[in-house]
Amino acid sequence: MPAVRARAYNFFGVAALIAVALGPDPAAQRRSVLEVETYRLDNGLTVVLAPHRLAPVVAMQAWVGAGSADEPAARAGIAHVVEHMLFKGTMRRGVGGLTQAIEAAGGDLNAWTSFDETVIHAVVARRAFEIGVDVLADAVCGARLDPDEFERERQVVLEEIGQGQDDPVKTVARAVFESAFVVHPYRRPVIGGAESVRALRHGDIVDYYRSWYVAGNTTVVVAGDFDEGGARRAIARHFGRMAPGGPRRRAMREPPQVAPRGRALVQDVHDGYVAIGFPVPQLGDGDGAALDLAAVLLGQGGSSRLERRVQREAELASGVWAYQHALRDAGLFVVSATARPAVLRDAVAAISGEVARLADDLGTSELDKAKAAIEADAIYGDARRAERHSEQVRTTSVAQVRAVVRKHLDVERANLAAVVPHGTARGVRGRAAFGRALIAHARRGAKAARRPATTTATPAVVRTVLANGLVLIVKADPSVPVVAMRAVWPGGVRLEDDRTNGTSALLAQWLTRGCGDRDPTSLTEMIDRIGGGMAGAAGRNSFGVRAEWLARTWDQGLDLMADCILRPRFDPAEFAAERRRLLDELAAQDDSASHAAFRLFAEALYQSHPYRYDVLGSAKAVGGLTDTQVATFYRDHFPVSGMTLAVVGDVDPDQVLARVRARFEHVPRAAAITPVVAAERFSGRAARTREVYRFLEREQAHLVIGFPGTTVGSADRFALEVLIGILGGQSGRLFAEVRDHLGLAYRVSAHSVEGLDPGYVAIYLSCAPGNLDAANAAVERELTRLVADGVTSDEVERTVTYLIGAHDVALQRRSAVATALAFHEAYGLGWAEWSKYSDRLARVTAADVNRVARAYLRDDLAITATVRPPAASPAVAKRKAGKRPAAPVRHAHPPARSRRTS
């Protein structure tokens, strides 16, 4: 079912309100003041019925999950054109027949297209219910799409496009969306452009209609005074003929924005028009209600801050508004204003200051007034005020609004667009300078409004070393009532050998299966009762325990975590059960050809270092482990004095420190047994080790081309990450060449995996066996070209922007922050290093990337690992020639280079 949403332009209140209220999951949203019934027809169409007797009127809508964001760039505007064509005749009615039928019954019919959907809506009297459903279904299911009418309607749409280009309000709105969305189709106008609309063929709209106007992509919403039984029968009769199915929608992700953007356009206008757009989360995100409240507080109504202070008191604007665009994939919070050109930049500074001030200065009475305004809008049917928000709005606190403003409405992520008269910004340079001036004024206004930090503020992170050596790191973050904890020791696979591989993984499973007086069942019940989760964790370089708790129960959660660390039960029966589970997991892992390729690669790259082992272990070693052996491994290698504990969330650092001291400081200091891990020698190997094969009966071949990598503490790490970003990902060189251009592989990626000891850089792809040689050769060509010709500054800038944004997004969870703090400290880098990631990346230049490409993507160090079906493989060819190949088979010369991030 498509996500059901309404837009601000809908005026059929109740139906739109129900449509938005239900959102993408109607069954989960039935706490409405109306009795709402949701069901599906046999063809997959979703129906939402909301009967009431407020007036003898029925509002009905058909929501089709097809908007401008679903269009390819070459056919931009096709969704809007198809919406027009719905009214240009059906298989039963001529041009204008739908409107005539509705109006003859005293009703109204219209439609709109947005970024994410097309909506056809009607309002009819109760007695005309059947006519309304008939007309709505005829429009959606029976459009004629006559070729001659298409040509005529195309001209109408082109006129609409031309009119919009003359409107400065629409122009500045388009400009701010183009600035905010660099990749996503939201950057394009919903109605498309003249060039793409002119290029549309009749066959294009027919194909689009058949693909998107299908039952599985459509929701019918009916609200008002109607008989439920009769409504169900009428809807089944008229919409049951709709074709089943649903289109496959491609997920789109906009690279995170990390710096402000400013642009200016000139037009034949008298006033200046400005829009400031801030990227915000997609529709349904938990911050939506607080952002709605921020929009009301800032720019909706005569008592809003912007209208009162910027427009009336400072007289810097003749009009100013704030609103949130909550969209399927991402959102935009926009503040727009009209002002005299001479004061437009000052207006921007004042607006930016008011936005920043809201993060520090908001009282309960002002917030309550905004809540009342939203409630009134919902009662009177403004579709933006969806009822699904009502409970969230009522319960949103002052602190939540301030936190959301601080989080999302940051001037450093603002998009500023202006339309000014000719002469205000002359030529390309003048417009660019005006854009920069907008950014400067926005920054100036925000800086002036920010409340200076007091010297008594609690430090963001508190690090304490207990008397026995335990390192405690606490970061208070009250924005979400959750507390994450991560206990870490250096260890993992680095402590294992052929006989003990898998000990860390098995210990991680066993450690939390009972502690102190609690058996596994009572421990699990207690964890559930206090609303948390806890598990052991093992990797290539570490061992530990991770947990997450509600803020109100963090102290009980810490006690449970301490009991597992200090007093694990280590029940032999539980050990046997966990060993069986791990062996089952290893057996299942053997079915993965991609995993087999990486294991083959690791075993060839690391001939003596423990990194050659699988993190889960080997079946042979795990099968031979005993409970005594694993318990001794824990006590020998992971004493309390070697532990780093990070706690992040809604806590008081002093209280956490007191609790940790009470639970852990009595444990005497002890030294961990730390084996010496010899460095791997990568150079001087025989050519026969450079290409390895494994044959599996699979439909796809899997290839890993890899090289020795770097360590977590190396200065090269950040340039390598950028190199991997340029090669990998859906916009990377390898994806563009191997998949998009040549069509040789479905999946291609690049990786850079660091460790306490040198990790690896690798390219991975999967393809049809017949394409393997060509895909391998294509990767070699791209890597050779990269090393020879280097990367461009634009590639580096784009990749750095994406990596920083992805990093920021990943660290939105408290558990991710706790993990980063604990690992950086435990690995000897210092906890503060995690906060320097963005700065380190931002300093990477094209010269740095080219240097590490030459240093790491070396032919003489390359390892190629291939997993493929035995048919038509080199091994088969050699057997047919009467030669018995060695196992594994190795080729004389390797391919070239590789990389990717993990």
Does residue 107 register a pLDDT over 50?
yes
Joined together, the tokens standing for residue 250 give: 């491609």
Strand 319-325 to 57-64 pairing: unpaired
Q: What is the largest CA-CA distance in the chain?
A: 93
CA-CA distance, 277 to 617, in Å (whole number)? 50
Contact 800, 720 (CB under 8 A): no
CA-CA distance, 710 to 752, in Å (whole number)? 8
Lowest mean pLDDT among 292-301, 456-465, 479-488, 844-853: 456-465
Cα 421 to its chain centre, rounded Å, is 39
Joined together, the tokens standing for residue 66 give: 């097809």
Give residue 16's pLDDT: 45
Lowest mean pLDDT among 33-42, 327-336, 385-394, 538-547: 385-394
CA-CA distance, 631 to 640, in Å (whole number)? 15
CA-CA distance, 15 to 778, in Å (whole number)? 54
Tally of helices (H runs) and strands (E runs) in the chain? 32, 22
Give residue 755's pLDDT: 93
What is the DSSP track for 741-783?
Answer: IT---SEEEEEEE-BSS--EEEEEEEE-GGGHHHHHHHHHHHH
Does residue 31 register a pLDDT over 50?
no
Which residue's entry shows tokens 């080729």? 891
CA-CA distance, 831 to 465, in Å (whole number)? 13
241 CB contacts (<8 Å, ≥6 apart)?
137, 141
Partners of 335 in the β-ladder: 276, 322
Joined together, the tokens standing for residue 446 give: 């925000």
Of the candidates 888, 868, 893, 865, the residue with the CA atom closest to the CA atom of residue 760: 865
What is the DSSP track for 108-131?
Answer: EEEEEE-SS-EEEEEEEEGGGHHH
Which residue's entry shows tokens 């401008």? 68
CA-CA distance, 65 to 213, in Å (whole number)? 8
Give residue 845's pLDDT: 94
Task: Tell me the per-residue pLDDT of 9-23, one tens digit each, with 9 for 90 and over.
Answer: 222 344 444 443 333
Which residue's entry shows tokens 């009418």? 149
Contact 102, 109 (CB under 8 A): yes
Strand 644-649 to 471-476 pairing: parallel
Contact 338, 272 (CB under 8 A): yes
Top mean pLDDT of 7-16, 223-232, 378-387, 538-547 is at 538-547
DSSP-derived letter for residue 182 is S
Mean pLDDT of 266-274: 90
Give residue 10's pLDDT: 29
Burial of residue 250 (number of CB atoms within 10 Å: 0-12, 13-18, 19+): exposed
Partners of 262 in the β-ladder: 416
Joined together, the tokens standing for residue 715 give: 């200065």
Give residue 893's pLDDT: 28
CA-CA distance, 379 to 14, in Å (whole number)? 9
Does residue 773 register a pLDDT over 70?
yes
CA-CA distance, 834 to 855, in Å (whole number)? 26
Task: Tell me the per-residue pLDDT of 790-843, one tens digit each, with 9 for 90 and over.
Answer: 999 989 988 887 788 677 766 768 899 999 999 999 999 999 888 888 889 999
Question: 10 Å Cβ neighbour count for 259?
Answer: 11
DSSP-derived letter for residue 739 is I
Give residue 18's pLDDT: 44
pTM here is 0.54
Task: Tell me the per-residue pLDDT of 193-202, one tens digit each, with 9 for 90 and over.
Answer: 999 999 999 9
CA-CA distance, 266 to 258, in Å (whole number)? 27
Joined together, the tokens standing for residue 86 give: 């719905």
CA-CA distance, 190 to 174, in Å (whole number)? 10
Write the single-letter amino acid at 104.
Answer: A
- pLDDT confidence of 884, banded at 50, 70, 90? very low
Contact 651, 483 (CB under 8 A): yes
CA-CA distance, 51 to 221, in Å (whole number)? 11
Instruction: Compute the mean pLDDT over every residue in the chain, rounded to the nearest whole number.
Output: 85
Helix, strand or coil, per DSSP, at residue 150: helix
Give residue 591's pLDDT: 76
Does residue 460 register a pLDDT over 50?
yes
Mean pLDDT of 57-64: 92
Mean pLDDT of 592-610: 93
Give residue 685's pLDDT: 58
Give residue 902's pLDDT: 27
Give residue 12's pLDDT: 38
Does residue 768 register a pLDDT over 80?
yes
Cα dihedral 209→211→214→219 (10° resolution): -80
CA-CA distance, 795 to 790, in Å (whole number)? 10
Rounded to 5 degrees, φ, ψ at 711 are -105, 165
Mean pLDDT of 42-46: 94
| Percent of the chain whose pLDDT exceeds 90 | 58
Rounded to 5 degrees, φ, ψ at 698 are -135, 160
Write the single-letter amino acid at 633.
Answer: F
Give residue 377's pLDDT: 53
Cα dihedral 391→397→402→403 (10° resolution): -80
Task: Tell me the per-residue pLDDT of 703-726, one tens digit each, with 9 for 90 and over.
Answer: 999 999 999 999 999 999 999 999
Give residue 27's pLDDT: 34
Task: Tell me the per-residue pLDDT of 611-657, one tens digit each, with 9 for 90 and over.
Answer: 999 999 999 999 999 999 999 999 999 999 999 999 999 999 999 99
Give residue 689's pLDDT: 54
Mean pLDDT of 285-289: 83
Give residue 28's pLDDT: 33
Mean pLDDT of 560-588: 93
Rounded to 5 degrees, φ, ψ at 380 are -90, 5
Of the candidates 887, 867, 540, the residue with the CA atom closest to the CA atom of residue 705: 867
CA-CA distance, 194 to 160, in Å (whole number)? 10
* Overall size of the chain counted in residues: 902
Cα–Cα distances in Å, from 318 out to 172, 340, 508? 16, 8, 64
Order across the sheet with 471-476: list the strands: 461-465, 471-476, 644-649, 482-490, 542-550, 533-538
Give the H or E element holding residue 813: none
Write the single-letter amino acid at 349.
Answer: A
Does residue 161 register a pLDDT over 50?
yes
Give residue 375's pLDDT: 65
Mean pLDDT of 513-523: 92
